[in-house]
């Protein structure tokens, strides 16, 4: 693991947790933190790495048990029902993963319901999250993702079907969403109330619209408004949580019951150590050296080898993480470029050996935004999508094809 350094830690007996454990249905999550589903990122290998660091942080806070909730990357309901090999691989969990959490995407209530039924009857998941936040054009132009809650009846039918199938097996269903399509077409308050009535266990809000994608700043005031509107279940805040201090500030400013972390942990899985410690009321924070960072990167690659069963595929996967891991550290463009082409563990080790393992944590240079940001965009939607808040015959056949817009699970 890494070395955890601390500034003025509180005595063990004086620690006061910032938030109580997060209750998601029957699951008690000691640290009120959720790893956001991220396509191509939150596979079994990355979840394992984050979970290990979360457990370390929980120990720093003097607690034990389930750490955070670590959600799979988005799974397409139709691909799940067809049992495509890639989808079945993506829904597999490590024996140590508990609760086993899967995020589903779908636009047809019957298909989503059947997918949930498959997961619960075959004992493949302990928690199901529904995706209503994806801003990707190939999804929204078919009426899926962040575009879907605009159609109130369709949203309600999908959520109701999922809860109906999961409830007899005591598997909680949650909803993750955005503020809406754009500032003129907000949906999150209606969707939050509808999800609450339908019996979901929690709702999570990314404080951006689909039009924003990942640009600009997340609107945390929307999280506060949702918390005021939804009274009986937890409300989780998502967006621009780059550090444990950001998470604490979000809780103070919005009153949310927990946080969802996505891009903030890219190349920095030890953020879950910081978050667990911070919510437990301690000031312990991870400040790894470059040697500790590259050791984590190496372990991540090893886990990817296990996940893929193929060293070359694992090395291709780790390439996109390398810039995130090395952010702010003195590495040099030549080594960075070579690492971005690494094709074996031996090559990775050779390149890493040329770096200075004693280089200290670079502070601000390593902090802040990571991952994609982009710029505001026009949201691709089906024709006449915005004319009504309910489905009509002209759009019904369009959304029926939406699951086909997302390939590979």
> Whole-angstrom Cα distance, residue 115 to residue 305?
29
Pick the closest to residue 141 from 394, 385, 373, 375 (CA basis). Answer: 385
| Dihedral class, residue 167 (left if φ above 0, else alpha if ψ from -120 to 50, else beta) | alpha
> Whole-angstrom Cα distance, residue 408 to residue 387?
32
Catalytic residue among 50, 134, 265, 315: 134
> Whole-angstrom Cα distance, residue 208 to residue 211?
8
3-state secondary structure of 249: helix
Is residue 50 annotated as part of the catalytic site, yes or no? no
Pick the closest to residue 82 from 350, 408, 348 (CA basis). Answer: 408
Containing 235, the helix (H) or strand (E) segment is strand 235-238
Contacts (Cβ under 8 Å, ≥6 apart) of 225: 189
> Whole-angstrom Cα distance, residue 339 to residue 109?
45
> Whole-angstrom Cα distance, residue 30 to residue 20?
8
> Whole-angstrom Cα distance, residue 352 to residue 326?
11
Q: How many CB atoms lie within 10 A of CB 208?
A: 25
Catalytic residue ranges? 134
């Amino acid at each position: 693991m890494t070395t955890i350094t601390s500034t003025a830690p509180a005595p063990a007996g004086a620690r006061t947790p910032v938030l109580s454990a997060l209750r998601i249905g029957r699951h008690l999550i000691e640290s009120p933190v959720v790893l956001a589903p991220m396509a191509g990122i939150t596979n079994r290998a990355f979840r394992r790495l984050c979970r290990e660091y979360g457990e370390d942080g929980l120990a720093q806070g003097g607690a034990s048990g389930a750490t955070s909730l670590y959600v799979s990357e988005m799974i397409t309901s139709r691909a799940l029902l067809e049992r495509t090999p890639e989808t079945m691989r993506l829904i597999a969990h490590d024996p140590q993963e508990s609760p086993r959490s899967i995020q589903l995407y779908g636009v047809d209530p019957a298909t989503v319901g059947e997918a949930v039924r498959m997961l619960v009857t075959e004992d493949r998941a302990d928690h199901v999250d529904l995706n209503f936040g994806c801003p990707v054009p190939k999804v929204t132009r078919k009426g899926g993702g962040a575009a879907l809650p605009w159609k109130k009846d369709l949203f309600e039918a999908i959520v109701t079907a999922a809860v109906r199938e999961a409830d007899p097996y005591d598997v909680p269903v949650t909803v993750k969403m955005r503020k809406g399509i754009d500032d003129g077409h907000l949906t999150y308050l209606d969707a939050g109330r509808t999800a609450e009535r339908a019996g979901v266990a929690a709702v999570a809000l990314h404080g951006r619209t689909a039009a924003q994608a990942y640009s600009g700043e997340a609107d945390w005031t929307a999280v506060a408004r949702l918390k005021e509107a939804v009274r009986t279940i937890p409300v989780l805040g998502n967006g621009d949580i780059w550090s444990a201090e950001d998470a604490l500030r979000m809780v103070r400013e919005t009153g949310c019951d927990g946080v969802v972390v996505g891009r903030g942990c890219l190349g920095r899985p030890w953020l879950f150590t910081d978050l667990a410690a911070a919510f437990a009321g301690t000031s312990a924070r991870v400040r790894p050296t470059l040697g500790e960072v590259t050791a984590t990167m190496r372990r991540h690659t090893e886990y990817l080898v296990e996940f893929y069963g193929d060293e070359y595929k694992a090395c291709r996967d780790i390439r996109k993480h390398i810039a995130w891991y090395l952010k702010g550290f003195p590495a040099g463009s030549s080594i960075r470029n070579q690492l971005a082409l690494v094709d074996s563990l031996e090559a990775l080790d050779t390149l890493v050996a040329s770096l200075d393992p004693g280089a200290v944590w670079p502070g601000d240079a390593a902090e802040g935004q990571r991952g994609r940001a982009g710029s505001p965009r026009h949201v691709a939607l089906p024709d006449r999508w915005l004319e009504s808040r309910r489905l009509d015959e002209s759009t019904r056949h369009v959304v029926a094809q939406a699951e086909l817009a997302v390939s590979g699970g």
